[in-house]
Amino acid sequence: MPTGVALRDVRRQLFDAAERVLLRDGAGGLTSRAVTDEAGVAKGVLHRHFADFDDFLAELVRERLARLDAQAAGLRAAAGTGTVAGNLTAALVELFDPIAVSIVALVLFRDELRARLRRAGPGAGVPVLTQAAGAIGAYLGEERAMGRIAADADVDALALSLIGAGHLLFAGRDAGSREPGDVAQVVHAVIADVVQRRLL
């Protein structure tokens, strides 16, 4: 088997194991030992592929950010279709899946991880939440350009409000307890003043 293929397989195995540990035990339970035990590999395997545990965690978060980029592209493509509130509700439910919520907690929990991510990428704030706000803001900007929301709408402020509210709704909930109706109610409240009623 070519080395590149084997490396990707090990990385995927370790990332999947880390996500399972995060969901089960939370950020405080995510250790290198917990990851390698969950993956069923020797502890040295992780350290052969990553400089240290924070390097592993940074790659785990970067992988999530890459998924977020794909979600953001899909959301922007939805501009002009359906309803603004419907598009935002679906996006927030997708953005705040249980893994994403757990990764936000991880970033908040580990100072060194947060520092590494900030050094590696532009922008302040909490990685994942910051990128999610950017995705929502870009989508709202497209809708504003199409005249589906008010021309003077502050899309960045709206995006921050939606991301903050979405995170509060999903943080601390069990994986199966996400309620799109709760999200829709918040979305309607946040955008009510800037979206034409027929497009809400």
Domain that holds residue 18: 1-49
129 shares its domain with 68? yes
45 shares its domain with 69? no
Provide the number of structural domains found in the chain.
Answer: 2
Residue 54 forms part of a structural domain: no
| Distance in angstroms (rounded) separating the CA atoms of residues 149 and 143 | 6
**Which CATH number goes with the domain that contains 92?**
1.10.357
What is the pLDDT at residue 168? 87
φ, ψ of residue 195 in degrees (nearest 5):
-110, 135
Domain stops at, among 9, 28, 49: 49
With 0.85 as the threshold, say if the pTM is over it: no
> Cβ distance 97 to 183 under 8 Å?
no
Q: What is the pLDDT along the chain (200 residues), one digit of tens a residue?
A: 344 435 458 889 999 999 999 989 988 899 999 999 999 999 899 989 999 999 999 999 988 888 888 999 999 999 999 999 999 999 999 998 888 888 988 888 888 888 888 776 655 678 788 889 999 999 999 999 999 999 999 999 999 999 999 988 888 655 455 667 889 999 999 999 998 654 54
42 shares its domain with 66? no
